[in-house]
Amino acid sequence: MNSQERVWATYRGPFDPCPPVPFKTYVVPPNQYVNFQPPGLPQYPLPEALRAGTLWPAFYSPYESKAGKGKGGI
């Protein structure tokens, strides 16, 4: 599990007609923990920065699609 991923326990009502979903997850982006961008942060080389979507490794947050999970993937 990613360190930026959080787990949330959903509420199950006693008369809920839907099948229970015990847990949901969400991602907290790393920029939520930085008040300001300090000078001199290490930087990716430009080709790698384009692949990562950010110039600074401290702000990198991987994205994993959950749309195709359990159904063979896409």
Distance separating alpha carbons of residues 69 and 56, to the nearest angstrom: 29
Per-residue pLDDT of the chain (74 residues; tens, 9 = 90+): 458 888 999 888 888 888 888 898 888 888 888 888 888 999 999 999 999 989 999 888 887 777 766 555 44
Domain residues of the chain, as ranges? 5-34+41-59
pLDDT score for 42: 94
What string of H, E and C letters represents the secondary structure of 2-50? CCCEEEEECCCCCCCCCCCCCEEEEECCHHHHCCCCCCCCCCCCHHHHH
Q: Side chain identity at 28, as an amino acid letter? A: V
Query: So what's the pLDDT on residue 73?
Result: 45
Q: Which two tokens stand for residue 71?
A: 């159904």
